[in-house]
Structure 1
Amino acid sequence: MIRSPERIAAADVLRGFALLGILLVNMRYFSSPALYGDTIKDSGFDRTVAAVVDVLFEASAYPLFAFLFGFGAVMMFRRLSSRGERPIPILLRRFLLLLGIGVVHAFGLWFGDILIPYAIAGFIMLFFFAAPPRWWGAAAVAVFFLFRGLMALLMALSMWAGGTETVGGHEAEAAAAVRHYQSGTFGDVFWQRWHDWAYVNSDGGLMFTVLTVLPFCLLGGYAADQRWLEADRHSPAKLRRLMGWALCFGLALKTIPYWIEANDLTVYIQDSFGGAALAVFYAAAAVFVCGKQSWQRAWRWWQDVGKMSLTHYLAQSLVCTSLFYGYGLGWYGRTSAWQETLLAFALYAAEVWMSRFWFARFHYGPVEWLWRWGTYGARPPFRRRPGQ
């Protein structure tokens, strides 16, 4: 299957937008022990800023990246097959390299790594490449609703039986995180990072994350076969209708904890179902925008960022941990939600500018270039020649 310019543009624009959403959500975890409880200041402005980020981006950005991960894997499989190459060994090597990058990221920079679950989901996807495309779509729907429906049911039963009904905190763990990240040594930071990663991923947590992203990866693979991201495949009216329904449904679900009650069940529904619905809105909006050639100057900025999203994702962790951890400026636990959000936008603006500067001189982002080299076993061109 030949990729059209519109399709490539929509995928990269979506990556670029998702990168902003990921940064806005992650900033709270970079800067405070939010993993262990509510860290939002009591001011109304801070609460409002945090609520906007929560509703618009929490659990809506990572499904886009997972979707595009599966999308890209299927496109790569088809491209390699059309050239007469054996795609499975190459894809296996690609996923192994991603796993290695994720391990270095998780234990060398930040505990909130998502690359390890993506790599594991990639290994699972390898079993689907010999299956008909409809299997990808059917498996995506089945895994999504069976897994998430079962989790919601278990939470409802737990609450009915008198289980915990509110999202609680862990004061001792939060205090330790502040102490180690804010003023600890490299060793203190490393072991705190290890503890945080284990807190999230032990006792089935890693498999939970894999099952969370897997249906979006499978759906992305199905979308590649159905050419969903090609703008000329959809009428503007159809895209507007999809955007309208997804936005309304997504916002209704994402605001449930704000107009009912914030507990384990409502937050899970908010993130699992509301987040997915808003992700559909963002994906449809990216295709709609990329179908407007007169808007190219605007969406080209998102596209350039998306082309080197892995580099930017890792750079975000490097910059933010340097700002917030004790071996840097030591801002951990000392900033408010509005300051963190402002910092996220400033960092993203710098990434946008750097992307335009970079692609005027190079073919790939630096990490993408290394990843591609390791995947294919041959060094790809890096620097652009004059006139390219």
Structure 2
Amino acid sequence: MSVPASPPRPGPVETRDRLLAPDLARGVALLGIALANCVVWLPGRDIGPLGKPVDGSAADRAVDTVVGLLVDNRAFPMFTLLFAYGFVLLLRRMAAQQLPWPEARAVLLRRSLWLAVFGAAHMLLLFFGDILLSYGLLGLMLVWVVRWSDARLKVLGWSCLVALAGLSALDGLGGALDQDLPGPLRQGTVVGDAVWRLLTLVSTVSTAPFVVAALVPPAVVGILLARRRVLERPQEHLPLLRRLVLVGFPVSVLGAVPLVLAATGAVDLATGWDLLLATVHGLSGLVGAVAFVAAVAWWAGRRPAGPRPGGLPGALVAVGRRSLTCYLLQSVLFTVLLPPWALGLADGAGTATVSTVAVGVYVVTLVVAVVLERAGDPGPAERLLRRLTYGSRRSAGGDGTAPVRP
């Protein structure tokens, strides 16, 4: 009498089965996220477009120019694109395991809910600029649309460009928004920072539909690229990748130039123009995010087949494999190093100083990721999220970027 086969059980990806291009792209994006986030740790400053202090030094202006052209409004859509790409691969892998759609949907919903919980805790305890909560909420929405046709997804993506434009326009605003609050409630104090984190959490939850809608366009691009296996088989898509890079980067940089000139004080903008140029900066940033991902995939596609890369590319891959751990570690290190009530490196500093700290923090995450890679450890945050998502099943780890071997 034959024994009936046990039902398929979903689980995380083995390290040996992970894909090079998505991991490498996530590793690159995390450097951009560190540089984009560090400026918000400058307390009590009058700020202009892109959140840059209006009284920066020459070194600050140089850093603001580079970050404004290549990082701001480029790193986060890049990460959003990769998040959606991985979402499709999770679904594809579970389909290959013959997991029924209701069970696969439950896995995706559970993972997204826990990611939102991680984000809420991160925002409340460490950093009010958290993006994990929004990604978790985005994941809940993607469960609903991920099986739509390409045509319906394109309509959704184009429609949600309005939300992305509106969110981008906020980068044209400036001012010190907390100057009229009582001293203990201002940013730069223990109580003030805690209050701002709580207020931001409430604001993020209350404006969730708008925030998630703004993330939809890069997410749709990620889904469409995943359906064509562009990052899985980059060698088959080199002409497409080359076009995305050669067209995307010039569009991204040219779209960023006007607002960067305003942010660095090179030009003065009349009321209204700042919002318009900020919108252009954000929308061109989506093009830049696609170009950055395409550049990484182009490199991976032209690389000779063989073992995983070593050196700096290998370290970037290690970070990308542990993107959740490294992202949270950035916030822990920033919290220790930058606030006036901690080591205070941001107190009286400019963007050049905090950007230097950001690069140093990123280097620390590189070292930690390489150590974890050599130890075969997927990272503590990844391990916890996978246990909450899949149960106690043991695995060397991954986050759903390749099929699991039987």
TM interval, short-chain normalised: 0.7 to 0.9
1:48: which partner in 2? 62
The CA distance in 2 between the partners of 1:70 and 1:127, in whole Å, is 13
Per-residue deviation, 1:123 = 1.0
The CA distance in 2 between the partners of 1:91 and 1:168, in whole Å, is 38
2:39: which partner in 1? 28
Q: Deviations over 1:203-261 (max 9, x none)?
A: x64433211112222321222111121212223x5433321111111111011222774
Per-residue deviation, 1:122 = 1.0
Per-residue deviation, 1:74 = 1.2
Choose which of 195, 213, 222 in structure 2 pairs with 1:191: 195
Deviates more, 1:34-43 or 1:79-88: 34-43
Per-residue deviation, 1:109 = 0.8
Unaligned runs of 5+ in 2: 1-12, 398-406
Q: Deviations over 1:247-281 (max 9, x none)?
A: 1111110112227746111112112x121111121
2:371: which partner in 1? 357
1:252: which partner in 2? 254
1:283: which partner in 2? 293
Matched residue type, 1:218? V
1:374: which partner in 2? 388
User: Does structure 2 conserve the Cα–Cα contact (< 8 Å) formed by 1:41 and 1:337?
Assistant: no
User: Does structure 2 conserve the Cα–Cα contact (< 8 Å) formed by 1:136 and 1:219?
Assistant: no
Unaligned runs of 5+ in 1: 156-163, 384-388
User: Does structure 1 conserve the Cα–Cα contact (< 8 Å) formed by 2:114 and 2:385?
Assistant: yes
The TM-score normalised by the length of structure 1 is 0.84
SS of alignment partner, residue 343 of structure 2:
coil
Q: Give runs of aligned pairs for residues 1-388 of structure 1, distance below 5 A.
A: 8-33=19-44, 38-85=52-99, 86-144=103-161, 146-148=162-164, 151=166, 167-170=173-176, 172-173=178-179, 180-182=186-188, 184-185=189-190, 187-198=191-202, 201=204, 205-229=207-231, 230-235=233-238, 237-257=239-259, 258=261, 261=269, 263-271=274-282, 273-293=283-303, 296-297=309-310, 298-381=312-395
The CA distance in 1 between the partners of 2:245 and 2:183, in whole Å, is 41
Deviates more, 1:116-125 or 1:27-36: 27-36
1:158: which partner in 2? none
User: Does structure 2 conserve the Cα–Cα contact (< 8 Å) formed by 1:63 and 1:276?
Assistant: yes
Per-residue deviation, 1:90 = 0.7
The CA distance in 1 between the partners of 2:44 and 2:198, in whole Å, is 14
2:4: which partner in 1? none
User: Does structure 2 conserve the Cα–Cα contact (< 8 Å) formed by 1:177 and 1:192?
Assistant: no
Seq. identity, %: 25
User: Does structure 1 conserve the Cα–Cα contact (< 8 Å) formed by 2:116 and 2:133?
Assistant: yes
User: Does structure 2 conserve the Cα–Cα contact (< 8 Å) formed by 1:6 and 1:291?
Assistant: no
Matched residue type, 1:92? L
User: Does structure 2 conserve the Cα–Cα contact (< 8 Å) formed by 1:302 and 1:352?
Assistant: yes
| Change in 2 beyond 3 A, CA 1:174/1:228 | farther
Per-residue deviation, 1:291 = 1.8
Root mean square deviation, CA, Å: 3.2
SS of alignment partner, residue 290 of structure 1:
helix
Matched residue type, 1:195? L
The CA distance in 1 between the partners of 2:388 and 2:110, in whole Å, is 8
Q: Deviations over 1:278-320 (max 9, x none)?
A: 1121011010111233593342221111000111111111110
User: Does structure 1 conserve the Cα–Cα contact (< 8 Å) formed by 2:26 and 2:79?
Assistant: yes
Matched residue type, 1:30? W
| Change in 2 beyond 3 A, CA 1:240/1:176 | farther
User: Does structure 2 conserve the Cα–Cα contact (< 8 Å) formed by 1:290 and 1:299?
Assistant: no
Matched residue type, 1:253? G
User: Does structure 1 conserve the Cα–Cα contact (< 8 Å) formed by 2:27 and 2:316?
Assistant: yes
User: Does structure 1 conserve the Cα–Cα contact (< 8 Å) formed by 2:234 and 2:298?
Assistant: yes
- Determine which structure has the larger helix proportion and give its number: 1
Deviates more, 1:60-69 or 1:261-270: 261-270
SS of alignment partner, residue 113 of structure 1:
coil
| Change in 2 beyond 3 A, CA 1:8/1:319 | same
The TM-score normalised by the length of structure 2 is 0.80
User: Does structure 2 conserve the Cα–Cα contact (< 8 Å) formed by 1:239 and 1:288?
Assistant: yes
Per-residue deviation, 1:67 = 0.9
Q: Deviations over 1:6-39 (max 9, x none)?
A: 9811101110111000000100012335696542
The CA distance in 2 between the partners of 1:166 and 1:220, in whole Å, is 27
Per-residue deviation, 1:140 = 2.2
The CA distance in 2 between the partners of 1:177 and 1:53, in whole Å, is 31
